[in-house]
Structure 1
């Protein structure tokens, strides 16, 4: 492999223990495929079982001897990074909002969705900060934006982390399952505020409109999820966007240059393709419910213009996007307050009912009713405790987290306005 390029690979492994179908066979196949590859950095999502990570790590150790499995939440973040180059620092940043503890089916709250990062030491680029993430899943693309407010909060927090890394003078590479198609508000915030370039968009600048077949959708639009070519989504009920585009592009490899004065090597995406689209050899199923994404980033020497140029000005989120962001978070805040109020009302009703049951148990006409009363009392007590926890503890948690981001964005919006006025003032004085 040339030392003048970086090959990045990202895959959502769908490694839910007891839930994901054919997990053991698929992880074994993923490990074999990655062991035979020539990637420099691999970012894996939904690899929650440590033994599965060990299997992949050990298989790929010849090419990728450095690795990190990240812990977060009650069940783990499901994130891992493998690298050909030495890892000199790591961190994991759990997102402040990850769904609700009552939403057991989605499970985001229990796993603690996060941004994982590993800083690698590259012989030409120096320190490169690798980000791997999996954003909040629930909400899809349909319905009001406040349904996806938690994912918006994730996107804002991720963008701040990536921007800060670049401001430290590091090249930044970010990969993962962002659970958002390219045209949505979370991806706009990430691209603009973090200044990240989308490797797929750079290498496919003018895709032809529409795709006649699912195969064309992979090549033109980088579809990685909900494709009819994937055995796990072929019979899945899909939303209107997935049906119209033969799937969705939810997985990304993003990158940016450091904020650094003077000349420095630059990254440029030269190739990006959807990978692991075939069936697992000898089986009748796909490697995962997502396809993988592979990007090649060329390392280019600085030019004379780079030597004379000042550090690039950071890009900013548009005021229209900020306004839409604030509207979505405000609607979610109102919804969260109302839901917490209802849950606390339910707690009070359960408390009253428990007292009534305790008093009424003295007048039971038959002894055989007593066990039924006990079981019902235990159930009502459990329901009341859960509603108290959900309505008060989690309700306050969610509202406070939303308010933090709302106030950050309001200050950010005010700053954009002040910068615009300052620029206009300088223009008039000139």
Structure 2
């Protein structure tokens, strides 16, 4: 495709210019409309997966799909005609695309509306399930796999096996005076409980720590960074703090609507929760989560943006319609936001030290407290990690002795009861397999996880020491 054609595609598909009444030549800044959607595409687990994913693809391609819920028409109140069709997006970030046939259908169905498409493959089983659809030409892509991402022993949860990652997509600049866009799409480790080991708080916090580091690199490289996806973290949680306070990014929903009282939102009706709090997950209006309690509704799907380069002009929940005889499109609702790209300033200051020094003292103190909270989180989980490694290692050693014992016992019992040999062989096989698996998890994964935790701990301590120096300069 030639450069001329690419430039025309960018201008036609993703920029909106309006001349001023007086000058005639001055233009408004271009706007880009994002959509992020967790599609719930688990094979054999997600109900009506194929039908739902195909309906999602058809809707993204421009078809009228689904029956609107009349009481949710309030979600369209902020929509303006100059943004084009209400369900026409410039960039779509998808999560949980885990079946090849689903991606093949989406890819084929959406190729006309979204000329630039990409799914990310790296992972032990199916890949991270991340995909991007764009009207804006893609310049390059990159996948970063989180080094701390659950445990292989939790095979029934699958997070470790799919390889949770950050899918980075760099887009062609829309205009010469705007920043190029870097989309960082992710689906972070899921919580399987509110507290305890199954909450995976430490894993998600470590992932957010790495995420913030990578986002800062692209931010300092001059990109308008947008962090999108199902981050599995509530507003105000430690991962959310890392992704905002550490990067200087703002939550696009909060930038548009201001700070919100989560407790107050939890007591609202399901319709008001969606309108006021954009509760994309566990809403009673979602047919797959209708049995949830009102206070369980939460916002886990985000677009976090750099406010020095982007400005939110509209945001809402989407894909709230219902499919006949099936239900909601997914167990999440989608989140959309329209972002205005701000012009490049004359000079940019990328000095890290000056950025920190110029921040409000309260923000610096909050960041320092986050570091302390992170160190406590790592210390707490390190106990679990070491126990897991130790007990699995003990299981391996005991298995070795049991196998030797089985061989000895078999030689004596075989002479008296030949059939007993079958029992001992089966017993030794089970012991060998389970012992070997636990041994590998202990000696390979266990060591790797502990060392990765040490690495994050040292990074946090380095940041804590630097922040203490900055705070001292503020006094």
Provide closer, same or farther for how the CA distance between residues 79 and 348 of structure 1 changes in structure 2, counting only shifts above 3 A: same
Unaligned runs of 5+ in 1: 259-265, 425-430
Match of 1:69 among 119, 122, 126: 119
- Indicate the SS of the match to 1:122: coil
Task: Please say which of residues 56-65 and 222-231 is displaced more in the overlay.
Answer: 56-65
Equivalence for 1:16: 42
In structure 2, distance between residues paired with 1:7 and 1:126: 16
In structure 2, distance between residues paired with 1:95 and 1:213: 37
Verify: 1:293 aligned to 2:335, yes or no.
Answer: yes
Equivalence for 2:246: 193
Question: TM-score normalized by structure 1?
Answer: 0.90
Q: CA deviation at 1:143?
A: 4.0
In structure 2, distance between residues paired with 1:398 and 1:228: 38
* CA RMSD, Structure 1 to Structure 2 (Å): 2.0
Equivalence for 1:342: 391
Match of 1:361 among 410, 418, 441: 410
In structure 2, distance between residues paired with 1:375 and 1:308: 73
Q: CA deviation at 1:16?
A: 1.1
In structure 1, distance between residues paired with 2:197 and 2:132: 34
Equivalence for 1:5: 31
Superposed CA deviations along residues 109-137 of structure 1, whole A, max 9, x for unmatched, are: 10000000110013223421111001011
Verify: 1:105 aligned to 2:148, yes or no.
Answer: no
Question: TM-score normalized by structure 2?
Answer: 0.82
Unaligned runs of 5+ in 2: 1-12, 17-29, 63-86
In structure 2, distance between residues paired with 1:91 and 1:310: 26
In structure 1, distance between residues paired with 2:418 and 2:33: 73
Verify: 1:172 aligned to 2:172, yes or no.
Answer: no
**Retained in 2: the 8 A contact 1:273–1:294?**
yes
Equivalence for 2:283: 227
Q: CA deviation at 1:310?
A: 4.8
Superposed CA deviations along residues 114-166 of structure 1, whole A, max 9, x for unmatched, are: 00011001322342111100101134433479841111111001111111100
In structure 2, distance between residues paired with 1:383 and 1:27: 38
Provide closer, same or farther for how the CA distance between residues 139 and 327 of structure 1 changes in structure 2, counting only shifts above 3 A: farther
In structure 1, distance between residues paired with 2:206 and 2:347: 38
Match of 1:41 among 91, 94, 97: 91
Provide closer, same or farther for how the CA distance between residues 391 and 308 of structure 1 changes in structure 2, counting only shifts above 3 A: closer
Query: 1:401-416 residue pairs with structure 2 within 5 A?
Result: 401-416=452-467
In structure 2, distance between residues paired with 1:395 and 1:60: 43
In structure 1, distance between residues paired with 2:347 and 2:121: 43
Aligned residues between the structures: 407
Query: 1:100-179 residue pairs with structure 2 within 5 A?
Result: 100-124=151-175, 125-143=178-196, 147-179=200-232
Q: CA deviation at 1:33?
A: 1.1
Verify: 1:267 aligned to 2:310, yes or no.
Answer: yes
Provide closer, same or farther for how the CA distance between residues 321 and 144 of structure 1 changes in structure 2, counting only shifts above 3 A: farther
In structure 2, distance between residues paired with 1:33 and 1:148: 35
- Indicate the SS of the match to 1:13: strand
In structure 2, distance between residues paired with 1:232 and 1:197: 30
- Indicate the SS of the match to 2:207: helix
Match of 2:442 among 374, 391, 404: 391
Verify: 1:59 aligned to 2:109, yes or no.
Answer: yes
- Indicate the SS of the match to 1:193: coil
Superposed CA deviations along residues 268-321 of structure 1, whole A, max 9, x for unmatched, are: 1011111111212x333111111100011123446xxx5478568256661111
Task: Please say which of residues 217-226 and 123-132 is displaced more in the overlay.
Answer: 123-132
In structure 2, distance between residues paired with 1:202 and 1:140: 30
Superposed CA deviations along residues 40-59 of structure 1, whole A, max 9, x for unmatched, are: 11000000122211211222
**Retained in 2: the 8 A contact 1:140–1:148?**
no
**Retained in 2: the 8 A contact 1:135–1:179?**
yes
- Indicate the SS of the match to 1:408: helix
Query: 1:409-428 residue pairs with structure 2 within 5 A?
Result: 409-424=460-475
Provide closer, same or farther for how the CA distance between residues 62 and 126 of structure 1 changes in structure 2, counting only shifts above 3 A: farther
In structure 1, distance between residues paired with 2:296 and 2:434: 43
Equivalence for 1:318: 367
